[in-house]
Amino acid sequence: MAPLVKEFQKSPEIFDIKVCVSAQHREMLDQVLNFFEIQPDFDLNIMQQNQDLFDITREALSGIKDVLFDYKPDLLFVQGDTTTTFVGALAAFYEKVKVAHIEAGLRSFNKHAPFPEEMNRVLTTQLADIHFAPTSRAKENLLREGVPEEKIFVVGNTSIDALFLCLKRTSEKTPGSFEPFSSIDFNKRIILVTGHRRESFGKPFENICVAIKTIAESDDIEIIYPVHLNPNVRKPVLEILGDIPNIHLIEPLDYPSFIWLMNKSYIILTDSGGVQEEAPSLGKPVLVIRDVTERTEGIDSGTAKIVGTGKDKIMREALELLTDKTVYDKMAKAINPYGDGNASKRIINIISKVS
């Protein structure tokens, strides 16, 4: 949302913009707000220890209710597939406020994978009035679900806008002396790993870790894993990967440092939807450690490959990229289907005409 907020702020004579944050993830949110110099007008501050989906839904719905009563907007923007996205759309519906959904139309067609994101976005679609789809395939998904075509606009994804904005603001050298990177040999090939999906908790995460441990036996690589704060992720990661010299388990990174690290990486293993979109803009092959993905455009274009959570396939596909330059180049040079960095400008132009 950051690049869209900045774009709206360029036209204060046309748009009265207010930013509401849920703070579902306090630390992760604050570093992004600081980097993009965005000051929220409403901060629900809902994060609490050991929160579950019931807590998030209840607190966010109550908080957004108060914001809508106070501000009474003409249009509420929600982005993506988080629980607060769905709750924001639901609250707006209760108050008869129009909803614009950014990143609309993504589907895995499995309501339990990713969980709860798949149902969050399906339900948000039913509540939204304007649908900003990142790709033509996302538009097709919406049309099949009965969304009127005149309510759908293919604009690309604002996450690519954010990526390019970040690259402009961050020099190539900036995080190089950053303490978590100080012991890493960047002359070697870097494999970046991220993982946090709820459907992978338990045995799947153990399999992923075992695969990473085996991949680390290659001499010329360094594996960097910013470990998600969820204890269901940290426990298997620390137990299985904690004592391997060329595996670096670090705390979650701020946004610019993570983008810098992606740009330095050779291969990325991830279950993150956003990384599947961002990495191809940097020419980085992505191995998706999930059984399904709602971002099938990347699979079809060749920028990403689904490898599941079985250790044998993860190892085989990663080692092939490390040893076969032809296979690597085919993925690294594929065209990113998710956007060109101008989604926010397109959204502003559309809103000026249709809202």
| Backbone φ, ψ for residue 40 (5° rounding) | -65, 145
Tell me the average pLDDT across 109-119.
93
| Percent residues over pLDDT 70 in the chain | 97
| Cα 71-73-79 angle, rounded to 5 deg | 110
Tell me the average pLDDT across 274-287.
92
| Separation CA 287–CA 194 (nearest Å) | 11
| Separation CA 116–CA 26 (nearest Å) | 20
| pLDDT tens-digit series, residues 240-275 | 999 999 999 999 888 888 888 999 999 999 998 889
**Whether the predicted pLDDT of 169 surpasses 80:** no
pLDDT of the residue at 355? 60
For 311-338, the three-class secondary structure string (H helix, E strand, C coil) is HHHHHHHHHHHHHCHHHHHHHHCCCCCC
| pLDDT tens-digit series, residues 172-220 | 445 544 566 778 899 999 999 999 887 878 898 899 999 999 999 988 9
Distant-in-sequence, close-in-space partners of 70: CB < 8 Å, separation ≥ 6? 42
Of residues 138, 117, 118, 244, the one with CA closest to residue 193: 244
Of 56-65, 165-174, 215-224, 342-351, the range with the lowest mean pLDDT is 165-174
Instruction: Please indicate whether residue 338 or residue 129 has the higher confidence score (pLDDT).
Output: 129
| Percent residues over pLDDT 90 in the chain | 72
Largest CA distance in the chain: 60
Say which amino acid occupies 8.
Answer: F
| Separation CA 3–CA 345 (nearest Å) | 9
pTM of the model: 0.80
pLDDT of the residue at 230? 85
pLDDT of the residue at 177? 46
Instruction: Please indicate whether residue 47 or residue 288 has the higher confidence score (pLDDT).
Output: 288
Band of pLDDT at residue 123, cut at 50, 70 and 90: very high
Q: Taking the chain, what is the end-to-end CA distance rounded to the nearest angstrom?
A: 19
| pLDDT tens-digit series, residues 9-48 | 999 999 999 999 998 878 878 988 998 999 999 999 998 8
Domains and CATH numbers, the chain: 2-157+340-354 (3.40.50.2000), 177-332 (3.40.50.2000)
Band of pLDDT at residue 132, cut at 50, 70 and 90: very high
Q: Which residues are catalytic?
A: 81, 103, 117, 196, 198, 228
| pLDDT tens-digit series, residues 81-107 | 999 999 999 999 999 999 999 999 999
